[in-house]
Homo-oligomer: A and B are copies of this chain.
Amino acid sequence: MIVAMKSDATESEIEGVCEHVRALGYRPHQIKGEERTVVAVVGKAQGVDHTSEFINYPGVENVMAIQQPFKLVSRQVKSSKTIVRIGDIAIGGDELIVMAGPCSVESREQILETARAVKQSGARILRGGAFKPRTSPYDFQGLEQEGLKLLAEARRETGLPIITEVMSAEDVEMIAEYADILQVGARNMQNFTLLKKLGRAGRPVLLKRGMSSTIKEFLMSAEYIVAHGNPDVILCERGIRTFETATRNTLDLAVVPVLNELTHLPVVIDPSHATGKRSLVAPLAKAAAAIGADGLIVEVHPTPDQALSDGAQSLDLPMFEAMMQQVRRYAAIEGRYVA
């Protein structure tokens, strides 16, 4: 941490800062510049962010953290990529893993038909929402436990592991009985009670980036899950909120290489929520493959125009098949394969 004093800071103000540094168990190191004094804080990091304690100290102009606040998820702590395994599937390895399925589980036929088709096209994991976070209390809220049972049936028939969303700490245990991967939605990225519970869920977690979350906050939320005992976290970029209204969100594809520098966790892209528009899903899926994403999570529905949620961004089955053929070719260039 670096504490920059104001150019007119007094000696006693500088000493005040140094004393507080010592009180916290660090060593202050003064650097006298031409225009101001800077106090560098030296010592073994204790995992606590002290920057805000100094910002209002008399004579202080600015405080800058040097250390990244995350540890367990950092590449510096663990340089080899984490591979999250579900049976014989390895997320973070040479295979680009595609997860596909409807936004919501709606009926037995709907989920079975989709599961068979996406498997046929090369998807390795079946997605489907049973508990749905909906902006309006009047919209379809999901089939809940009944939906989980239908997902489990689709897994039995197709062999595809299933990923589904968990919205609340209360539901973690129950949903973990059915699901192979627990998904945290963008709106819950900083639901810390939920994150702590997921640390003890015994299932891999796919964590979506919040709509206005920085990459640092995203990694801190992953750190919560890992610090509470669960190393199997998959990061998912699904678009951030900007002023642009032509797409529902702005997909921040640069996160793939940025995250790969900062963390060892695998990174998956969701082109469906990122755009909200069916015709944009395949183009962004190709770009995601080209930039090195470890996987994709895509909404697919047999009859999107009749979907109870997110139909506008769902691919139908032939569109998904076409998308997969394209993604396969892009993945191949980087020595990756798609089933």
Contact = CB atoms under 8 A, between A and B. Distances in A.
B193 A190 contact: no
Given A56-B304, A192-B133, A66 B38 contact: yes
Contacts of A167: 191-193
Q: Copy number of this protein in the oligomer? A: 4
Interface size class of A (residues with CB under 8 A): 35 or more
Contacts of A241: 212, 243
Contacts of A194: 168
A33 to B, nearest CB: 5
A174 interface: no
A213 B166 CA distance: 21
Contacts of A69: 135-136, 138
B253 A220 contact: no
A213 to B, nearest CB: 9
Contacts of A139: 48-49
Interface in A152-180: 167-171
A86 interface: no
Given A171-B193, A326-B333, 5 more contacts: A31-B42, A33-B42, A48-B138, A240-B244, A251-B252
Interface of A: 2, 4, 7-8, 20, 29, 31-36, 38, 40, 42-45, 47-49, 52-53, 55-57, 62, 64, 66-67, 69, 76, 133-139, 167-171, 187-188, 190-194, 196, 211-212, 214-217, 220, 223-224, 227-228, 240-247, 250-254, 256-258, 261, 274-280, 283-284, 286-292, 304-307, 310-313, 326, 329-330, 333
Give 5 closest A-B pairs by Cβ, nearest first. A212-B212, A290-B290, A168-B193, A187-B190, A47-B138
